[in-house]
Homo-oligomer: A and B are copies of this chain.
Amino acid sequence: MGEKLEEKPVLYSYWRSSCSWRVRIALNLKEIPYDIKAVSLIKGGGEQHCNEYREVNPMEQVPSLIIDGQTLIESLSIMHYLEETRPQRSLMPQDCYKRAKVREICEVICSGIQPLQNLIVLIHVGEEKKKEWAQHWITRGFRAVEKLLSSIAGKYCVGDEITLADCCLVPQVPRRPKAFSNNTTYRQGVGEPSSIPCCPSISSTRLPS
């Protein structure tokens, strides 16, 4: 059968990308060593659009993860793969209802907020309108997130254990409208990077350019 080489996973990432940050949090929590390949979303109109990277990720986005000899894209899919193949420090509850609630919060953030306010969309919206546009969709999304958290959050998004919902919420919180920053409907600290042990900072993978 031959010896299977366990190569260190490689994360294509950009330090300001909230989607990359989600995966970095999950990798840290599961204590999976990995290397970073920086993909600047700014330099030269965005390195993610070059032919070489398009072969890695046809959506021309970060993150992508090379792991187990395969290329994976889409942050939520990557995190579920890590959860299924590296079960240490589980980031999903056992209970089916709580699992659904974790996924709901992930989806509201990952399909209801982030795609509408990411860099590529704001460039398309244009300089003049982008601030109003982003605020509109972020406010709508956080109103829903807060409502969901009010019924299910404990010390973390869903109960008292860290889950994938926290991996998704933490990177979105820096763009949270001020109106939501002093919420009283769930415990203070939920969604704050400081609440997650070993949480990588947003800039921790900033590489010399």
Contact = CB atoms under 8 A, between A and B. Distances in A.
Interface of A: 58-60, 68, 70, 72-74, 76-78, 80-81, 84-85, 96-97, 99-100, 103-104, 106-108, 110-112, 114-116, 121, 124, 133, 136, 140-141, 143-144, 147-148
A114 B106 CA distance: 16
A117 B108 CA distance: 16
A96 B81 contact: yes
A100 B81 contact: yes
A107 B110 contact: yes
A108 B144 contact: no
Contact of A81 (B70, B99, B140): B99
Given A59-B108, A110-B107, A97 B76 contact: no
A142 B60 CA distance: 13
Contacts of A124: 133, 136
Given A58-B147, A84-B96, A73 B104 contact: yes
A46 B141 CA distance: 18
A145 to B, nearest CB: 8
B116 A114 contact: no
A9 to B, nearest CB: 13
Nearest to A114: B111
A120 to B, nearest CB: 9
Contact of A112 (B115, B140, B141): B115
Name which of A59, A76, A84, A124 has the most chain B CB atoms within 10 A of its CB.
A59
A100 B72 contact: yes
Nearest to A132: B124
